[in-house]
Amino acid sequence: MEKMKHIIESLPNETGWSLYQPYCLYQGFWCFPDFLEGIMLAQECFKPEPGDIFICSHPKSGTTWLKALTFAIINRHRYHFDDSSNPLLSKGPHDCVFFLEQRKFIGKFRQPGVPLIATHTPYSSLPKSVLDSDDCKIVYICRDPKDTFVSLFHFIDKRRPKHIEPVSIEQGFELFCEGKSIFGPIWDHILGYWKASLERPNKVMFLKYEDMRKDSALYVKKLGEFMGYSFSAEEQHNVTLQKIVELCSFENLRGLEVNKTGVQVNRIVPHPVANQDYFRKGKVGDWSNYLTPEMAQRLDKIMERKFYGSGLTF
Ligand code: A3P
């Protein structure tokens, strides 16, 4: 731990966003020291178990939704959808599936009996044991970076300690476009997983938030197949797929008491996070309410340039 602290202290850091900690540049991405300790620990000693599934994302791309969906899919024979014993009804999705980075705060990498582990860590910085393993799978969700930025901006502003000056949307946008945001640059984050999904399609599944919003049932089916929890013909014909979609829908999860008034029990940062902070609007294209056409065009252009030749578009 001391060795890690020394390394972290020596890294370049930024205070641009109004965050509770400056964030630092490690292996080409920006990260909170608190997260980084968890990542370094995982890089050093995480051992995957056969059947592990990694839920990967850039922050504010739909992590909470993907955690809920994957949890509901793999546990569909264990818990009834409307049974009060279903953990998704009494816990926030982040207390059903832990983050790899949380090890520092909760003393363990995984939720006992749940083969799902979430992470915001870029692909190339995942523990080598995970990259080398043929037994574990990776599901990545990405989202139009304009919506990701708007979501991130609101999340950070909501969580800003009141004694810290707010960052304007223009300042935040500038930092985001320079790649200086948590787990940014976002283009490197997305491209890392995109390329991996092309090279290792059986190991890495690449999903887009927007596609999943359009036809959620189709993606529930695809997720089940990819993770090794395929839906039987009968399940596909009856209401199972639809029940999972409804259980994990933005409206349903946001309306649950635990997500209206509860606090994330298994912390990811030293300060408590209210579950409701993970549910804002859940809309595709909300960026148009916050970004000027010039800002949108600038970010689109950056993405086009960075993704040029990769086959990836938004
Ligand atoms: P908005 O801020 O645009 O509303 P993450 O889970 O990676 O932190 O991403 C949070 C974003 O996902 C927020 O976007 C949030 O509202 C949205 N979200 C949370 N739960 C969702 C769900 N069940 N379905 C769709 N979107 C969801």
For 254-290, the pLDDT digits (tens) are 999 999 999 988 777 777 889 999 999 999 999 999 9
Residues carrying an active site annotation: 120
Q: SS3 breakdown of the chain: % helix, strand, coil, rounded to 5?
A: 50, 10, 40
Rounded distance from Cα 125 to ligand 1 centre (Å): 24
pLDDT on residue 1:
73
| DSSP string over 104-118 | HHHS-SS-TT--EEE
pLDDT confidence bin for 85, thresholds 50/70/90: confident
Q: Any idea which of 39-43, 184-188, 198-202, 247-251 has the lowest mean pLDDT?
A: 39-43
The helix or strand, by DSSP H or E, that contains position 54, with its residue range, turns out to be: strand 53-57
All structural domains of the chain with their residue ranges:
2-307
Q: Is residue 103 scored above 90 in pLDDT?
A: no
Residue 64 CA, closest ligand 1 atom number: 6
For 178-216, the pLDDT digits (tens) are 999 999 999 999 999 999 999 999 999 999 999 999 999
CA 134 and chain centroid, separation: 23
pLDDT confidence bin for 2, thresholds 50/70/90: confident
Indicate the average pLDDT of the chain: 93
Query: Using CA atoms, how far apart are residues 213 and 299, in angstroms rounded to an integer?
Result: 22
pLDDT confidence bin for 108, thresholds 50/70/90: confident
The one-letter amino acid at 54? F
Q: Which CATH number applies to 2-307: 3.10.450.350, 3.40.1350.10, 3.40.50.720, 3.40.50.300?
A: 3.40.50.300
pLDDT on residue 17:
83
Name the residue at shortest CA distance from atom 27 of ligand 1.
282
DSSP-based three-state secondary structure for 68: helix
What lies within 8 Å, CB to CB, of 155 at 6+ separation is: 59, 60, 277, 280
Rounded distance from Cα 174 to ligand 1 centre (Å): 23
Q: Is residue 109 scored above 90 in pLDDT?
A: no
| Average pLDDT of span 117-136 | 96
The one-letter amino acid at 255? G
ipTM beyond cut 0.95: yes
For 6-29, the pLDDT digits (tens) are 999 999 998 888 777 889 999 999
Strand partners, 119: 56
Rounded distance from Cα 274 to ligand 1 centre (Å): 14
The residue ranges of DSSP E strands in the chain, in sequence order, are 13-14, 23-26, 29-31, 53-57, 116-119, 137-142, 204-208
Q: Is residue 160 scored above 90 in pLDDT?
A: no
pLDDT on residue 110:
79
pLDDT confidence bin for 164, thresholds 50/70/90: confident
Mutate to test the pocket of ligand 1, among 65, 148, 256 (most ligand atoms within 8 A of CB): 65
pLDDT on residue 205:
98
Residue 189 and residue 148 in contact, taking contact as beta carbons nearer than 8 Å = no
Query: Using CA atoms, how far apart are residues 267 and 273, in angstroms rounded to an integer?
Result: 8
Mutate to test the pocket of ligand 1, among 35, 57, 60, 209 (most ligand atoms within 8 A of CB): 60
What lies within 8 Å, CB to CB, of 75 at 6+ separation is: 86, 87
The total of other beta-carbon atoms located within 10 Å of residue 85's CB is: 9
| Average pLDDT of span 209-237 | 95
The helix or strand, by DSSP H or E, that contains position 245, with its residue range, turns out to be: helix 240-247
CA 151 and chain centroid, separation: 12
